[in-house]
A and B are shown apart, each in its own frame.
Chain A
């Protein structure tokens, strides 16, 4: 079983739709949860970060973590064509002083927002 599972898509939605992206994981040691966004021909960039369980909101983006179910989500409201990219979830366990720098990534979900 992979440590992190993510549906690769592609996911195609109309402009203005609410998008839900998800990952599941098996390692209960993970406590830091991240979403990276990767545009075509670019490296990934950090979009959202959540520590432990709970929700975090940043503009049109909301990250949710449910540690009891080992399930994380990223919601995009009022999706725009500029949101078209690959979204990668990433996770890290805790080490002395905070997160380790060893990130475990999902495969990424390719999102296309149609105008």
Chain B
């Protein structure tokens, strides 16, 4: 596997279900991100993990719970979601280094989530 992988690619869940999204990066990076992408809206940054420590929680509802057990893996645990949470959830990674290239984030293909 290369780059950033995400599983599952598609997920349909009811409002009372609990599920988890998984992301794995094979790039040796030390920062990982969760984004939400909805139609006609900008990518919304949800969480940032630098060196496995959460450094950003962009006012995300508690029904979304991230977990970063090591610098290569990132999870997003979902419970009691709402229909408006249906979206494409993208994982990304980057290398934190001194210098200008911290902007370069590598994205996975995303998980298409539908909440019924």
| CB-based nearest B residue for A89 | B42
Question: B68 within 8 Å of A by Cβ?
Answer: no
| A44 proximity list for chain B (CB < 8 A) | 43, 90, 107
Given contacts A43-B110, A101-B31, A101-B96, contact A4 B42 (CB under 8 A): yes
Residue pair B105, A101 in contact (C-beta under 8 Å): yes
Task: Scan residues 3-36 of chain A and give those whose CB is less than 8 A from a CB of chain B.
Answer: 4, 6, 8, 32, 34
Residue pair A97, B99 in contact (C-beta under 8 Å): yes
Task: Scan residues 6-63 of chain B and give those whose CB is less than 8 A from a CB of chain A.
Answer: 31, 33, 40-43, 45, 48, 50, 56
Residue pair B110, A103 in contact (C-beta under 8 Å): no
Residue pair B105, A98 in contact (C-beta under 8 Å): no
Residue pair A100, B104 in contact (C-beta under 8 Å): no
Residue pair B100, A51 in contact (C-beta under 8 Å): yes
Residue pair B56, A102 in contact (C-beta under 8 Å): yes
Residue pair B109, A99 in contact (C-beta under 8 Å): no
Interface residues on A, range: 20 to 34
Most chain A beta-carbon neighbours within 10 Å: one of B94, B106, B107: B107
Complex Cα–Cα for A57 and B102 (A): 21
| A45 proximity list for chain B (CB < 8 A) | 106-107
| A6 proximity list for chain B (CB < 8 A) | 42
Question: A72 within 8 Å of B by Cβ?
Answer: no
Complex Cα–Cα for A100 and B92 (A): 15
Given A43-B107, A105-B43, 13 more A-B residue pairs with CB atoms under 8 Å apart are A32-B100, A34-B103, A41-B109, A43-B90, A43-B92, A46-B104, A49-B104, A88-B43, A90-B103, A97-B97, A99-B100, A100-B102, A101-B50
Of the A-B pairs whose beta carbons lie under 8 Å apart in the complex, a sample of 18, sorted by A's number, is: A2-B42, A4-B42, A32-B103, A42-B110, A44-B43, A44-B90, A45-B106, A46-B104, A51-B100, A95-B102, A98-B98, A98-B99, A99-B100, A101-B33, A101-B94, A102-B48, A103-B103, A103-B105
